């Protein structure tokens, strides 16, 4: 096949894949007479694969391998590319450039604050007087504030013992602590096991309450108890238990740890140090009951009820303090589909909360205009919206597509300098994992497809905006067999691991890279091939652990 025919065929394949992925919904009203001397075929349904195939059938008399038909297809593509595709690509490139600069400035701001706090030793907790509580000779243990520990559960067969045991092992006077286990389990065997564990601790003298609900309305947001329980309220959602973080379980958990380390060490610390605010993520938080009550209590309007409460409390003037020196053990999802569901819930919920609270933030009277600007622009718009949109569209759509649209040129500082700087800023706080940075970039780019989709669902309040899938927890399951073999299910079959959206997008990137190798004027194919490989690996379910109930 001649190079011209090969080039046109690759363009046609890319166009077909793009159409299948829904990225070619360009509505035109042209006739084939503009491109060849023959019968008119109206493209009234838009430029898509069906129209092109119809055109090929009409022109097949000239021979599929002849230069004539390929030249005419090439002419049609050049006209559509110049009149429609190129202008859209230029607009997308400009938007991605603007968003990239916004994201870079946000990363620089957070990193400067975080590093400044670390090296100048100006951590916000140093402003406060920290003294260990001591038992008063006259008041006895009543000098200690009443503490409530809440442990929501949902079929937590692998970790329920560890979670309850860790909560009961807290160093605090037993008569000044209440442990509430809210069990929403649907598995009757698991529910019975959790109840028996609670009774066992009651027999040891612990003040532990086992509660169930008739329905899961409100999910965790409906767990709050009466404020008569005391002065303080400790909320440790999905209390992880006294076991080591499983970041070394597989490559996927190690990559997750890199993202979470940056989130806590940089984002949370920067917010706490500048505006005494950060997004509470529901784990290991200590709340005053008065703060919860003044903020309006827990609300189930989004899937990020923890963040919702934090924003409302902050707008009432309450200050948040991040104490990074206190380590709380937790568990990372080691199954890809479980991780994908978790990220959808977090991303969609944050975008939806932004939609619901933007005007409330603007109208808030108890905080300064600078704090409003920080919450609206930095916390919500850049980190929860822009970051997901630009990561997907720039690195997974615009750059790959630009190789077949020579009219569009992307500046080198957008393609190389900005992502390199952001990666280096992340690497500074993840020095022990710097060798995994290339894999982290490719993994995050694949996940950006799901996060971008979740962001749009949240902003538009689409049908699945409140979709809630509980993140699977395995506890010590990878190390030992579960005690109760009745709960075991057959291993996951290969076809159940397949993720077709990732596979389809991988094909699209593979075609773009191949076109760039044969006809391109740059070396984008090196990156695009690597990114396509990442999509294929995740599409084939070759990441994380594979469990039967994911």
Active site residues: 184, 306
Cα 527 from Cα 500, distance rounded (Å): 22
- CA of 68: how far to CAs of 4, 57, 74, 226, 312, in Å? 11, 14, 10, 79, 66
**Euclidean distance between CA atoms 404 and 540, whole angstroms:** 27
Q: Which two tokens stand for residue 143?
A: 């000098």
Distance separating alpha carbons of residues 88 and 449, to the nearest angstrom: 20
CA dihedral 387, 391, 85, 51 (to 10 degrees): -110
Q: Six-digit token pair at 496?
A: 């159940």
Rounded CA separation 264/330 (Å): 13
- DSSP strand pairing (177-183 vs 208-212): parallel
CA distances from 347 to 299, 337, 353, 366 (A): 18, 15, 10, 28
Q: Output the DSSP codes for 57-89.
A: HHTGGG-TTSHHHHHHHHHHHHHHIIIIIHHHH
In sequence order, what are the beta bridge partners of 149? 179, 234
Give CA separation, 167 vs 38, 153, 261, 382, in Å.
79, 13, 24, 36
Q: How far apart are the first and last CA of the chain?
A: 47
Tokens 């092109």, residue?
52
Chain position carrying tokens 């007087």: 129
């Amino acid at each position: 096949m001649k190079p011209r025919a090969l080039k046109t065929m690759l363009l046609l394949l890319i166009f077909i894949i793009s159409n299948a992925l829904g990225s070619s919904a360009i509505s035109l009203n042209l006739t084939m007479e503009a491109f060849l001397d023959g019968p008119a075929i109206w493209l009234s349904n838009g430029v898509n694969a069906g129209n092109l195939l119809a055109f090929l059938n009409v022109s097949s008399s000239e021979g599929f391998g002849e230069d004539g038909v390929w030249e005419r297809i090439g002419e049609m593509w050049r006209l559509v590319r110049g009149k429609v595709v190129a202008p859209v690509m230029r607009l997308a490139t400009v938007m991605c450039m603007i968003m990239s600069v916004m994201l870079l400035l946000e990363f620089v701001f957070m990193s400067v604050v975080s590093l400044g706090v670390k090296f100048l030793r100006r951590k916000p907790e140093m402003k406060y007087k920290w003294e260990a509580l001591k038992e008063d000779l006259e008041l006895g243990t009543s000098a200690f504030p009443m503490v409530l520990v809440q442990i929501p559960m949902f079929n937590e067969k692998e970790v329920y013992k560890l979670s309850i045991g860790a909560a009961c092992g807290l160093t605090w006077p037993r008569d000044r602590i209440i442990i509430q286990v809210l069990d929403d389990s649907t598995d009757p065997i698991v529910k019975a096991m959790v109840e028996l564990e609670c009774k066992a601790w009651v027999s040891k003298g612990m003040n532990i309450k086992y509660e169930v609900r008739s329905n899961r309305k409100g999910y965790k947001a409906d767990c709050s108890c009466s404020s008569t329980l005391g002065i303080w309220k400790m909320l440790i959602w999905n209390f992880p238990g006294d076991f080591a973080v499983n970041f070394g379980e597989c490559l996927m958990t190690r990559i997750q740890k890199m993202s979470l380390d940056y989130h806590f060490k940089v984002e949370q610390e920067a917010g706490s140090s500048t505006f005494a605010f950060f997004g509470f993520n529901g784990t290991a938080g200590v709340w005053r009951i008065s703060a919860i009550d003044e903020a309006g209590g827990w609300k189930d309007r989004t899937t990020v009820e923890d963040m919702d409460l934090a924003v409302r409390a902050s707008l009432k003037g309450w200050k948040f303090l991040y104490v990074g020196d206190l380590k709380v053990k937790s568990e990372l999802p080691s199954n890809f589909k479980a991780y994908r569901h978790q990220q959808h819930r977090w991303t969609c919920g944050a975008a939806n909360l932004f939609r619901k609270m933007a005007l409330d933030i603007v109208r808030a009277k108890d905080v300064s205009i600078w704090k409003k600007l920080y919450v609206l622009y930095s916390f919500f718009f850049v980190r929860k919206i822009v970051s997901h949109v630009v990561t997907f569209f720039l690195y997974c759509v615009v750059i790959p597509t630009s190789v077949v649209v020579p009219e569009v040129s992307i500046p080198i500082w957008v393609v190389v300098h900005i992502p390199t700087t952001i990666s280096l800023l992340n690497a500074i706080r993840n020095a022990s994992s710097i060798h995994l940075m290339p894999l982290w970039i490719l993994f995050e780019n694949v996940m950006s497809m799901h996060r971008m989709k979740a962001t749009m669902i949240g902003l538009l309040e689409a049908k699945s905006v409140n979709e809630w899938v509980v993140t699977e927890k395995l506890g010590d399951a990878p190390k030992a067999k579960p005690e109760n073999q009745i709960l075991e299910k057959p291993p996951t079959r290969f076809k159940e691991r397949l993720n077709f959206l990732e596979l389809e997008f991988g094909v699209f990137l593979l075609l773009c890279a191949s076109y760039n190798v044969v006809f391109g004027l740059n070396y984008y194919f090196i990156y695009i091939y690597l990114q396509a490989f990442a999509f294929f690996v995740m599409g084939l379910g070759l990441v994380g652990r594979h469990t039967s109930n994911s």
